[in-house]
Amino acid sequence: MQPETHRPHSWDPDRYLAYADERSRPFVDLIAQIRATSPRTVVDLGCGPGNLTALLAARWPNADVLGLDSSPEMIATARARADDVRYEQADLREWIRTAQGDPVDVVVSNATLQWLPEHLDLLPGLVAAVRPGGWLAFQVPGNFEEPSHTIRRELAAEDAYAPHVEGVAHPSSHEPTAYLDALTRLGCEVNAWETTYLHVLDGTDDPDPVFTWVSATGARPTLQALPADLRGTFEDEFRRRLALAYPVRADGGVVLPFRRIFAVAQVPEGDRR
């Protein structure tokens, strides 16, 4: 989850974990491309409820694994886990500033940087926070022109809602070539790619699965910003439009196409200037 940059809001770990299996797939694909063998220090920036950070500890059992998140709700859930990970509540940008004096071997950030509009400008600091020869790996959504986002924006722009949602956080990202070029200019060896997952969500037990998905992430700041007397009306119309855009199939599933953008960079040995 993101550091606070816009109007404050909170996160719901239980709702976020409603589709934990589907949300975990990009993380697993991301870390599979990290070729570190025996790192001593591993940091997960934006660790959320910690379920995926535990995979880092399982892969590198001898490493000191640290999960950081700005959300007190997410950190509380992560700390309740019985795993070998340290969890701390912290702002990602502040960690970048302090870590450059004590760099680590592996930095992972999964579905977090999209909450920071300036995240492309943060890449030099992130690279500097990694030891020479170490690894930086991140994944961001690239689906912001899909109905799951365009419907929310169109609805939020209507006169009844617009004054209440002005200034709320909304995610954004760049094309894979932007990350490739930025990291290459920093001297890194870079593997950048994109994947569109076709998540088949259960439309039988959950009549509004796409709403459940987006209300835990991209749409949550908007929903929280609305006053109670408007939120219900907004949600009802949002559900209706999402159901039209993502119909239930004959088998009871609802297909949610989800484009993800990945970058894995090995930091160069020696002088990076």
CATH classification code of 13-146+167-200+258-266? 3.40.50.150
Per-residue H/E/C for 72-87: HHHHHHHHCCCCCEEE
Report the C-alpha gap between 118 and 115 in whole angstroms: 9
Contacts of 66 (CB under 8 A, 6+ apart): 41, 42, 43, 44, 85, 86, 87, 88
5 pLDDT higher than 80: no
> What is the predicted pLDDT for the residue at 243?
96
Query: Is the Cα dihedral 146, 2, 18, 56 positive or negative?
Result: positive
158-189: per-residue pLDDT in tens?
A: 999 999 999 998 899 999 999 999 999 999 99
Q: Where are the domains of the chain?
A: 13-146+167-200+258-266
**Sequence-ordered alpha helix ranges (H) in the chain:** 13-16, 20-31, 53-59, 72-79, 92-99, 119-128, 147-156, 162-165, 176-185, 209-215, 220-225, 228-245
4 pLDDT higher than 80: no
6 pLDDT higher than 60: no
* Start-to-end Cα distance in the chain: 31
51-76: per-residue pLDDT in tens?
A: 999 999 999 999 999 999 999 999 99
> What is the predicted pLDDT for the residue at 273?
42
Phi then psi for 213, rounded to 5 degrees? -65, -55
**Pairing verdict, β 104-110 and 41-45:** parallel
